[in-house]
Structure 1
Amino acid sequence: MFVSSRHLFFFSVTVRGTTSSDRFKGILLVAKGQSSQNILGSWSSIDSSVYVVFCDGTSSNGITQASSTTKSQIQATWTSPSTTAQENIVISYQQSCEVPMARHRLGNDHVFVCQRLNDDTIQLQRFINPGGYSSPTIVTTDSNYGGTLTVTRVALNNGVAYCEFTLSNFTTTMGRRRKRSISLLSQSTQYRILVATGHLAGSNALVQHSSIAVLTQKIQLDQSGTIATTNIEGSDDDKAMFLRAHGIIMLFIWILFVPTGILIARYFKQSWPTRKLCGKQMWFAVHRSVMIFAAIMTLIAFAAILKYNQGTWVSQNESREFAHSIIGMLVISAAIIQPMMALFRCHPDHQYRFIFNYVHAIVGIGALILSIIAIFLATLFSLSDTSINKPWRIVVAWESTEFAILIGFECLEIFYRKKWSPFCVKNRDKPVQMNVLHNGSDATPVDDRSSPENILKERLKTFLLAIHILVAFGLSLTLAYCTWQAS
């Protein structure tokens, strides 16, 4: 589709295969001048499967894929530069090795990495990408991938890392060439340079880069040349902060705070009967405070992801991301509905109070289950490729621990009601003083907290709650670290 607005031209570009069954992974779109070969115009897209990139230090003048999942099509809009004098604009395309559409994937590249380590040491290493989005494999001295790498200079001056090297001895044999999936570097071939900038893990290991740039000029390895780049993270890194904030907030809220509030409401109603906070029973005051905080932070996290996606919806082509977004909206809806229901609940002694109790519990437990599914899906995103292998295992470990703690609480209640021997003392038949709770809760009979069996029960419940908090905090912190790295 072509639209003209005075001296600006807008082109809607759709890339897809020749048939509906054709799918691809990698894509790179740029617009160039016919004579100067300079990159022209800017790109925009509401398709979440792609994002704009920096080319030659200018923002938004290229389009590439956002993940390694296969796609049937992508859509983007190209806007011509306002300074373009020509009235005729021609768009042509062809399939070439520069954009590997024939393989339906990126990869099989030669990589030279200039690293600034934790101790400010500069290190230059050579890698290969064995295919797709696989982790780079270091090239050893006895490997022959075209040319011998010789490091001539590495330095760090005024915060700028310098890496200089030469490639020599480009002698290869045809027999070796046929055995390799990656083409050997050649002195007679011109190459286009892709520059990626990112962070190192705490162990100086490579993690997924956060920004990329495509250099317009080509280089030939039998000629000297300089590749100079500034830190191209810039606004992309600022934008990624919203993604990090969304993930980290949701992790702590729905792994630590919400389950804690549920456990307190479920198992601690008869605890601390004589203690009050702000005129309310202790369990109710803690439960209400935790859940209100959780609802507010959930809405803040939702605002952060809206800002990151600029208010656009996730493409259905990204199945995991799309499912995550739908489930996430249900969780956010529950976070809004719960405090609204609590605000208009009837008195604890009202005949229809049981309706609120059941609905409140069902919505709360349902939201927690949906949040677990959403978190699990998030660990399967392509952006979740971090130095920690398979972060979904952390979610499984947390779910298993929570299930065991829940079983422990239920067994404790059952054993207490069945008068299991540790909770049955000799004076069990002695009349027990009963109290009634009204403030902020249903009218609940509460037995004397000073009896030995109750003391043991309360200590065990406190122990289980402490285990839950420690495990949930530790695993939330680990997943938050993964989120910070991945995004």
Structure 2
Amino acid sequence: DFNVGGIQTTTKPNRIPKPMTPITASGGFFSGSYKLTWNETSFFTFFNASEGSTSFKSTMERQLDLPNKYLAFGLSEDKIMGQDCIVVCKMINNIGIVEHFYSTGRVTPSLLDPNEPAVGLTDASVSYVNGNIQCKFTREKYIESVPRYCDSSKNKYFLLIAKGSISGGIIQKHGSDVVVSDSVIDFSANGTYSGTVRDATKSKAHACLMVFAWMFCVSTGIILARYYKFILPSIKIQKMMFWFQAHRALMIFAPICSITAFLVILADVGWKWVETTSKVSFVHSIFGIVVIGLSIIQVIFGFLRPDKEAPRRPLFNILHRFNGIFCITLAVVACYLGVFIERMNLGRIGWGIMIGWTMWV
């Protein structure tokens, strides 16, 4: 065992392993005496918090390959990292370290108290047996003298559990298989809670559909209408100019992809609109729904296009062009906001794609 006794210790490799708690498929949280088990990620978390107590005990277990890994336990108000308290159990060169951090968002979290890395934590221990890291600690629910300390005696929090690697003694960005409770947990009362492994599959499907719709279909459709009237003047499809037929097909397909993407992401969040507390996601959703609406209007405009000699044709051209430019501008903003959404974990790749596309357009 790594009997931390506050912060760190060493281990004996020939220790007899304790039996693993069976991993179930459903998973659940139980306050008072409660536990959480997961099938895919092999997480096991157990809590013991009697009503009226000033602290709660936690045990976390996760399969990790040494060396230099960590297991993190976060208290969050909105399921997204930022303004959250995190207990991090580190394994560095067979030495266990338990520390208390505070996260401000998509940056490396800082110690809650640099002068006392394990502030609010007692009876800490870490063990590593047969590929499984186990961390135990007792956390004070509230310490008034420590700024930014998450008060679990009064406030309710979502529980986040993540894993990752350590480089140079600094924890790195965690993986995508983050365990998140489905609802806030009341650490001062008995109750049963469920949780899920945060899966970004539908979110990424949404992003792929939107990228195809706006970075390929719409961009190509605009280029065809702008330049190919003169490049391929003799090519016709069904007695109509090639550029027009291709432009029309692409612009009709774009809102179809967009609506499909909208339904996919709506299903991912349980058919509910994104919470206003998730500021970037909420703003992204507003821009997105406006863009989808304008793209549908643009297609309707196209079907109502007057003949070349009609007196209203100049007005149509102005409205069609203005709505198109406005729509693609808002779409660019929505795409950039999408890169900022933390759960997508796009990083530099997302920025590279967006900047390259913007320069090309």
Band of TM-score, shorter chain: 0.5 to 0.7
Task: State the shift of 1:113 in Å.
Answer: 5.5
Q: Tell me the residue number matched to 1:208.
A: 176
Task: State the shift of 1:282 in Å.
Answer: 0.8
Instruction: State the one-letter code of the partner of 1:180.
Output: P
Out of 293, 314, 331, the residue aligned to residue 371 of structure 1 is: 331
* Higher radius of gyration, 1 or 2: 1
> What are the Cα deviations for residues 166-225 of structure 1, in whole angstroms up to 9, with x where unaligned?
xxxxxxxxxxx9653575763597569x8958899xxxx9523243479xxxxxxxxxxx
Do the aligned partners of 1:379 and 1:392 also contact (CA within 8 Å) in 2? yes
Equivalent residue runs for 1:241-260 within 5 Å: 241-260=201-220
SS at match of 2:209: helix
Q: Tell me the residue number matched to 1:151.
A: none
CA distance in 1, matches of 2:293, 2:218: 15
Q: Tell me the residue number matched to 1:336.
A: 296
Q: Tell me the residue number matched to 1:401.
A: 360
CA distance in 2, matches of 1:343, 1:368: 19
CA distance in 2, matches of 1:252, 1:323: 21
TM-aligned CA distance change 1:196 to 1:326, over 3 Å: same
TM-score, normalising length from structure 2? 0.57
Task: State the shift of 1:254 in Å.
Answer: 1.1
> What are the Cα deviations for residues 383-434 of structure 1, in whole angstroms up to 9, with x where unaligned?
1335x448335423432333xxxxxxxxxxxxxxxxxxxxxxxxxxxxxxxx
Task: State the shift of 1:143 in Å.
Answer: 5.2
Task: State the shift of 1:368 in Å.
Answer: 0.7
Out of 347, 350, 355, the residue aligned to residue 391 of structure 1 is: 350
Out of 93, 97, 120, the residue aligned to residue 141 of structure 1 is: 93
Equivalent residue runs for 1:232-243 within 5 Å: 233=197, 237=199, 240-243=200-203
TM-score, normalising length from structure 1? 0.43
Do the aligned partners of 2:68 and 2:92 also contact (CA within 8 Å) in 1? no
Out of 114, 117, 120, the residue aligned to residue 63 of structure 2 is: 114
Task: State the shift of 1:56 in Å.
Answer: 4.1
TM-aligned CA distance change 1:320 to 1:38, over 3 Å: closer
Residue 226 of structure 2 corresponds to residue 266 of structure 1: yes
Task: State the shift of 1:279 in Å.
Answer: 2.0
CA distance in 1, matches of 2:71, 2:262: 39
Task: State the shift of 1:315 in Å.
Answer: 2.0
Q: Tell me the residue number matched to 1:127.
A: 70
TM-aligned CA distance change 1:245 to 1:198, over 3 Å: farther
TM-aligned CA distance change 1:144 to 1:308, over 3 Å: closer
CA distance in 2, matches of 1:264, 1:94: 69
Residue 231 of structure 2 corresponds to residue 293 of structure 1: no
TM-aligned CA distance change 1:280 to 1:130, over 3 Å: same
TM-aligned CA distance change 1:114 to 1:328, over 3 Å: same
Task: State the shift of 1:314 in Å.
Answer: 2.0
> What are the Cα deviations for residues 324-380 of structure 1, in whole angstroms up to 9, with x where unaligned?
111111101012111111112211221210111111111111111101111111111
CA distance in 2, matches of 1:187, 1:294: 55
- Looking at secondary structure, tell me which structure has more strand per residue: 2
Do the aligned partners of 1:314 and 1:321 also contact (CA within 8 Å) in 2? yes
Instruction: State the one-letter code of the partner of 1:391.
Output: G
**Root-mean-square deviation (Å):** 4.5
How many correspondences in the alignment? 254
Out of 277, 280, 283, the residue aligned to residue 323 of structure 1 is: 283
TM-aligned CA distance change 1:271 to 1:390, over 3 Å: closer
TM-aligned CA distance change 1:338 to 1:385, over 3 Å: same
Equivalent residue runs for 1:396-475 within 5 Å: 396-402=355-361
Gaps of 5+ in 1: 1-28, 40-54, 59-91, 100-108, 116-121, 147-176, 215-231, 403-487
Q: Tell me the residue number matched to 2:111.
A: none
Q: Tell me the residue number matched to 1:186.
A: 124
Task: State the shift of 1:241 in Å.
Answer: 3.4
> Relative CO higher for 1 or 2, CA cutoff 8 Å, sep ≥ 6?
2
CA distance in 2, matches of 1:191, 1:261: 60
Give identity over the alignment, percent. Answer: 24
Do the aligned partners of 1:327 and 1:370 also contact (CA within 8 Å) in 2? yes
CA distance in 1, matches of 2:181, 2:266: 25
Q: Tell me the residue number matched to 2:11.
A: none
